[in-house]
Amino acid sequence: MANEQVLAVPTERLNEIGRFAGFSRSFDGAAAFTHATFVDRAAAEVDESWRQIIPYVVVVCPNGVLSYRRASAGGEARLHGLRSIGIGGHVNPSDLEDGLGALRAAPIETLARAAARETREETRGVDDTPLTWIGFIREDTSAVARVHFGVVYAANTADEAELSDEGKMIDAEYASWSELSARLAEFEGWSRHVIRAMAEA
C-alpha cells in the first residue's frame, strides 16, 4: 500500500450532490466524478474527507449469483471472514489510460474498464463478459465504509464463473437473489445493500 495512488472524490462534494444511504440507481455519478483525483491510499484509508472509488462487480451465472468469503490473504483486514458478492478493488492511475479527463467525460464507461481488469484477475470465465452499470453504494455505518464509494456493475455470464487461485477469495457458492436475501447476516455491508435491492426488483 506504500505510496499507492488511488482514485477518490472529496466527501464534501458527494454530500453537495446528494446524500443517500445504501444502494442508489439515481445518484448523479457524472457530477460526482468531476471532482475525482488520485490520492495516497494509506492516508485516504483513515481520512473521511475522501471517498475512494471502488468498482464492484456482481457476477451472475446460469446457476446463480457468485458469492465468496474474504480470506486473510486479502488486502482489507476489516472485511476478512465475511461473505461478498462483489468483485473489485481500487482504481490506480494505470487503470485510466486516457487520464482523468476521460473519466470526467464518461465515468461509468471508464470505470468499467478498471472493473474488467480487476474481474479478470480475480475470476475465471468472465473475461469477455460486458459489464452493465446497476447503481452506486454509499454507507456511513463503519470506518471502512466511510472512506469508500462503490460503483456497481453486473456481469451476466453464459457459463459458470470460478474464483482465481490468488487465495484472497475462497468458498465460492452460487445462489438466487432470494436465497442470498435469506442469508444477509453472513455478508459484508455493501453486499447486503445490493442483495436487498436486487431481491426486491
Tell me which residue range forms the domain holding 103. 5-200
Total domain count for the chain?
1
Residue 193 and residue 201 in contact, taking contact as beta carbons nearer than 8 Å: no
Per-residue pLDDT tens over the stretch 9-52: 999 999 999 889 999 998 888 888 999 999 999 999 999 999 99
Sign of the dihedral defined by the CA atoms of residues 169, 43, 117, 22, in that order: positive
* Residues forming beta bridges with residue 173, ordered by sequence position: 67
Per-residue pLDDT for 167 more than 60?
yes
146 burial via Cβ count (<10 Å: 0-12, 13-18, 19+) = middle
CATH, residue 52: 3.90.79.10
Per-residue pLDDT tens over the stretch 83-119: 999 998 899 999 998 889 989 889 999 999 889 988 9
Residues sharing a CB contact under 8 Å with residue 60, sequence separation 6 or more, in sequence order: 66, 154, 155, 156, 157
